[in-house]
């Protein structure tokens, strides 16, 4: 019993990368970049965002997109959860009274709902739970690929509904800072693909380091713009509760939909994990392009909190599926 309990705690312990991201927020709160350093960090942030999407394009295997593509019912259900259910729920939550949803954080909650699913953690949890890994790779990859176009457009539509429309400059920035580097990475994949595959771990540090830089730069501007005068500790508690409710609703909806449509357990696991997640890796750089300036920090808070909650919840769920798999005979 004690070993089982320790295994559970090992799976739900905080992600060290999240701790580093929170550390960037703390550092920016204590020592924000300001004055002459601001334009330097601004330029470095733009380069970092472009680098992140270039690496995403170079790493994204076309075979992964093609693999399992015939499983269209599963993929449509995942995409519907990611780009239809999530945005609807976050729009409703953002419209709740101010004593439930802090006004300053409402746009960030809506933006959270527009983001694509994760790739690495979805695949990892599916493997632990003994689900359909090939379908997870295909679904998560398609979500991120489509998200480059859908997330900004969906965000613009929903933000406009809230009176926070995106400008033409933001759309132009998406093309220059996100789409162009991504396409360049895809085009160069036949040339640099083997080199990148051989240095996957090193380049993952570059990828994650770029996101840390974006977070530090964003919160530096946010701190100098007075973010902690707009958001209180109580607001953060309310935001965590909203994210927890959102995650619970989507997990329940995807599970019920998978069973209602008669998917086998392996596919149910894929739908549950791919359909309930939101990508921090894509969300941070996208927000950096769409919402430059002091308001960026506010946009990032919901995805940072939701990301950690989804990891802890899915770790517990994956372990439960794995235990159930251990009690049933294997079939070929």
CA pair distance 22, 8, nearest whole angstrom = 24
In the prediction, which pLDDT does 330 show?
47
In the prediction, which pLDDT does 274 show?
93
In the prediction, which pLDDT does 39 show?
80
> pLDDT-based confidence at 332, cuts 50/70/90?
very low
DSSP structural state of residue 69: T
CA pair distance 288, 57, nearest whole angstrom = 18
CA pair distance 110, 150, nearest whole angstrom = 14
Residue 201 tokens, joined: 């771990």
What residue has token string 């006004």?
A: 103
Answer for the pair 29, 223: CB distance below 8 angstroms, yes or no: yes
Residue 55 tokens, joined: 């690496």
Model pLDDT for residues 49-87, shown as the tens digit of each residue: 778 778 767 776 666 555 555 677 898 999 999 999 999
Residues whose CB is less than 8 angstroms from the CB of residue 193 and which lie 6 or more positions away in sequence, other chains included: 58
Q: Which of 51, 2, 96, 82 is nearest to 271 (CA)?
A: 82
In the prediction, which pLDDT does 180 show?
80
Task: For 15-323, give the CATH class.
Answer: mainly alpha
In the prediction, which pLDDT does 60 show?
64
> Rounded to an integer, what is the distance from CA 252 to the centroid of its chain?
19
Calculate mean pLDDT across residues 266-284.
89
**Range with the lowest mean pLDDT among 12-16, 146-150, 160-164?**
160-164
Model pLDDT for residues 196-240, shown as the tens digit of each residue: 777 777 777 777 787 788 788 878 877 877 777 888 889 999 999
CA pair distance 152, 177, nearest whole angstrom = 13
**Range with the lowest mean pLDDT among 211-220, 250-259, 299-308, 321-330?**
321-330
More confident: 169 or 240: 240
Answer for the pair 254, 276: CB distance below 8 angstroms, yes or no: yes
Answer for the pair 218, 286: CB distance below 8 angstroms, yes or no: no
Question: Does the pLDDT value for residue 161 go beyond 60?
Answer: no
Residues whose CB is less than 8 angstroms from the CB of residue 299 and which lie 6 or more positions away in sequence, other chains included: 107, 108, 111, 287, 290, 291
Question: Does the pLDDT value for residue 36 go beyond 50?
Answer: yes
> pLDDT-based confidence at 251, cuts 50/70/90?
very high
What residue has token string 């619970």?
A: 248
Q: Return the SS3 of 166.
A: coil
The full set of domain ranges for the chain reads: 15-323
Residues whose CB is less than 8 angstroms from the CB of residue 22 and which lie 6 or more positions away in sequence, other chains included: 304
Q: What is the pTM of this model?
A: 0.76
Query: Which helix or strand (DSSP H or E) is residue 73 part of?
Result: helix 72-80
**What average pLDDT does the chain have?**
80
> pLDDT-based confidence at 14, cuts 50/70/90?
low
For 242-293, give the DSSP string: HHHHHHHHHHHHHHHHHHHTT--HHHHHHHHHHHT---HHHHHHHHHHHS-S
Question: Does the pLDDT value for residue 2 go beyond 70?
Answer: no
CA pair distance 22, 18, nearest whole angstrom = 6
Residue 250 tokens, joined: 């989507």
The number of beta carbons lying within 10 Å of the beta carbon of residue 276 is 29
Helix, strand, coil % over all residues of the chain, rounded to 5: 80, 0, 20
**Range with the lowest mean pLDDT among 34-43, 82-91, 103-112, 164-173?**
164-173
In the prediction, which pLDDT does 4 show?
47
Calculate mean pLDDT across residues 103-130.
88
> pLDDT-based confidence at 327, cuts 50/70/90?
low
Question: Does the pLDDT value for residue 269 go beyond 90?
Answer: yes
């Amino acid at each position: 019993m004690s070993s089982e309990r320790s295994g559970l705690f090992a799976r739900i312990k905080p992600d060290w990368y999240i701790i580093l991201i929170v550390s960037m927020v703390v550092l920016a709160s204590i020592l924000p970049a300001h004055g002459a350093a601001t334009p330097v960090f601004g330029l470095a942030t733009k380069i970092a965002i472009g680098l992140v999407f270039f690496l995403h394009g170079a790493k994204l295997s076309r075979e992964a997109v093609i693999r399992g593509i015939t499983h269209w019912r599963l993929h449509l259900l995942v995409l519907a959860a990611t780009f239809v259910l999530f945005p609807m729920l976050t729009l409703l939550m953002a419209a709740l009274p101010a004593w439930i949803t802090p006004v300053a954080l409402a746009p960030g909650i809506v933006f959270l709902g527009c983001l694509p699913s994760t790739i690495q953690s979805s695949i990892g949890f599916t493997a632990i739970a003994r689900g359909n890994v090939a379908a997870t790779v295909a679904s998560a990859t398609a979500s991120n690929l489509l998200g480059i176009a859908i997330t900004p457009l969906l965000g613009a539509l929903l933000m406009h509904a809230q009176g926070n429309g995106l400008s033409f400059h933001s759309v132009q920035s998406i093309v220059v800072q996100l789409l162009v580097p991504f396409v360049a990475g895809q085009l160069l994949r036949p040339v640099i693909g083997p080199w990148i595959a051989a240095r996957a771990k090193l380049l993952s540090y570059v990828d994650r380091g770029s996101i840390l830089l974006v977070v530090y730069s964003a919160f530096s501007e946010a701190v100098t713009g007075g973010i902690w005068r707009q958001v209180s500790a109580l607001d953060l508690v309310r935001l965590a509760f909203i994210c927890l409710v959102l995650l619970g609703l989507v997990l329940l909806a995807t599970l019920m939909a998978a069973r209602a449509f008669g998917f086998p357990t392996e596919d149910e696991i894929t739908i549950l994990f791919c359909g309930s997640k939101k990508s921090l890796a894509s969300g941070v750089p996208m927000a950096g392009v769409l919402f430059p300036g002091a308001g960026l920090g506010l946009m990032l808070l919901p995805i940072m909190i939701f990301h950690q909650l989804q990891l802890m919840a899915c770790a517990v769920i994956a372990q439960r599926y794995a235990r159930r798999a251990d009690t049933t005979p294997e079939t070929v």
